[in-house]
Amino acid sequence: MAVQRIAKRVLLIGWDAADWKVISPLVDAGEMPALNALIEGGTMGEIATLNPPLSPILWTSIATGKRTFKHGIRGFVEPIDAAPGVRAVSSTSRSCKAIWNILHQAGLTPHTVGFFASHPAEPIRGICVTNQFAESPPRSADDTWPLPAESVHPESKADHFRELRVHPSEITDDVLREFIPRLDEIDRSTDDRPAKLAAALAKATTLQAVTTTILENESWDFVASYFEAIDVVSHHFMPYHPPRMPHVPERDFELYQHVITAIYKFHDLMLARLMHLAGDDATIIVLSDHGFHSDHLRPAAGIEDDSPADPAVDAAKDAAWHRPLGVLFMGGPHIRRDDRVFGATLLDITPTILTMFGLLYFVQGAALAYFHNFQKPYLSGFGVSANLIGLLTSILLLPFILKIFIGMLSDRVSLFGRGHRKPYMLLGLGLAALVFGGAAFALPDRSFLLFAALVMLGSFSVTLFDSTTDGLAIDSPLL
CATH code, domain carrying 273: 3.40.720.10
The residues, any chain, with a CB within 8 Å of residue 259's CB and separated by 6 or more, are 179, 180, 197, 233, 237, 240, 241
Q: Is residue 204 scored above 70 in pLDDT?
A: yes
CB 112 within 8 A of CB 91: no
Out of 329, 361, 393, a domain closes at 361
DSSP assigned state of 171: S
In this structure, the answer to whether residues 213 and 342 fall within a common structural domain is yes
Question: What pLDDT is stored for residue 2 in this prediction?
Answer: 45
Rg of the chain taking only CA atoms, in angstroms: 23
Q: Is residue 79 scored above 90 in pLDDT?
A: no
Nearest to 373 by CA among 424, 428, 333: 333
Question: What pLDDT is stored for residue 346 in this prediction?
Answer: 94
Give CA separation, 428 vs 102, 325, 364, 368, 456, in Å. Answer: 23, 27, 10, 15, 13
Enumerate the β-bridge partners of residue 322: 292
Residue 245 within any structural domain of the chain: yes
In this structure, the answer to whether residues 228 and 329 fall within a common structural domain is yes
Q: Is residue 313 scored above 70 in pLDDT?
A: no
In this structure, the answer to whether residues 353 and 387 fall within a common structural domain is no
DSSP assigned state of 402: T
Q: Is residue 142 scored above 60 in pLDDT?
A: yes
Nearest to 265 by CA among 14, 15, 23: 23
Cα 383 to its chain centre, rounded Å, is 35
Q: What is the pLDDT of residues 387-416, one digit of tens each?
A: 888 888 778 778 777 777 887 888 888 888
In this structure, the answer to whether residues 77 and 205 fall within a common structural domain is yes
Out of 316, 331, 361, a domain closes at 361
In this structure, the answer to whether residues 296 and 417 fall within a common structural domain is no
Question: What pLDDT is stored for residue 408 in this prediction?
Answer: 81
The DSSP H or E segment spanning 61 is helix 55-64
Q: Is residue 362 scored above 60 in pLDDT?
A: no
In this structure, the answer to whether residues 353 and 390 fall within a common structural domain is no
Residue 396 within any structural domain of the chain: yes
Q: Is residue 115 scored above 80 in pLDDT?
A: yes
Q: Say how far apart CA 258 and CA 263 lie, in whole Å.
A: 9
For the chain, the helix, strand and coil percentages under 3-state DSSP, each to the nearest 5: 50, 10, 40
Q: Given phi > 0 = left and psi -120 to 50 = alpha, else beta, which region is 122?
A: beta
Q: Which of 26-40, 89-103, 190-204, 225-239 has the lowest average pLDDT?
A: 89-103
In the chain, the amino acid numbered 467 is S
Q: Say how far apart CA 262 and CA 180 lie, in whole Å.
A: 9
Residue 2 within any structural domain of the chain: no
Mean pLDDT of 48-53: 90
Residue 366 within any structural domain of the chain: no
Residue 376 within any structural domain of the chain: no
In this structure, the answer to whether residues 306 and 251 fall within a common structural domain is yes
Mean pLDDT of 310-339: 84
Rounded to the nearest integer, the mean pLDDT of the chain is 87
Q: Is residue 130 scored above 60 in pLDDT?
A: yes
In this structure, the answer to whether residues 41 and 130 fall within a common structural domain is yes
Give CA separation, 471 vs 64, 318, 328, in Å. Answer: 20, 27, 26
Planar angle of CA 29, 32, 33, nearest 5 degrees: 100
Cα 65 to its chain centre, rounded Å, is 11
Residue 375 within any structural domain of the chain: no
Nearest to 362 by CA among 429, 306, 311, 424: 429
Which one has a higher pLDDT value, 437 or 102?
Answer: 102
Cα 376 to its chain centre, rounded Å, is 25
Q: Is residue 446 scored above 70 in pLDDT?
A: yes
In this structure, the answer to whether residues 160 and 95 fall within a common structural domain is yes
If one counts every other C-beta atom within 10 angstroms of the C-beta of residue 220, the result is 20
For residue 303, what are the domain limits? 9-361
In this structure, the answer to whether residues 294 and 408 fall within a common structural domain is no
Give 28: exposed, middle or buried? Use CB within 10 Å, 0-12, 13-18, 19+.
exposed
CB 85 within 8 A of CB 118: no
Q: Say how far apart CA 274 and CA 10 lie, in whole Å.
A: 12
CB 282 within 8 A of CB 223: no
Residue 319 within any structural domain of the chain: yes
Q: Is residue 438 scored above 60 in pLDDT?
A: yes
The DSSP H or E segment spanning 141 is none
% of the chain with per-residue pLDDT over 70: 90
The number of folded domains in the chain is: 2
CB 282 within 8 A of CB 9: yes
Q: Is residue 145 scored above 80 in pLDDT?
A: yes
How many angstroms separate the first and last alpha carbons of the chain?
Answer: 40
Which one has a higher pLDDT value, 78 or 306?
Answer: 78
Residue 134 within any structural domain of the chain: yes
Nearest to 3 by CA among 356, 454, 435: 356
Q: Is residue 314 scored above 80 in pLDDT?
A: no
Q: Say how far apart CA 146 and CA 307 lie, in whole Å.
A: 33
Out of 306, 330, 361, a domain closes at 361
Q: Is residue 205 scored above 70 in pLDDT?
A: yes
CB 53 within 8 A of CB 47: no
In this structure, the answer to whether residues 298 and 388 fall within a common structural domain is no
The residues, any chain, with a CB within 8 Å of residue 332's CB and separated by 6 or more, are 7, 10, 42, 282, 283, 284
In this structure, the answer to whether residues 396 and 317 fall within a common structural domain is no
Confidence of residue 371 (pLDDT cuts 50, 70, 90): low
Q: Is residue 59 scored above 80 in pLDDT?
A: yes
Q: Is residue 286 scored above 50 in pLDDT?
A: yes
The SS3 of residue 465 is helix
Nearest to 463 by CA among 431, 415, 418, 434: 431
DSSP assigned state of 161: H
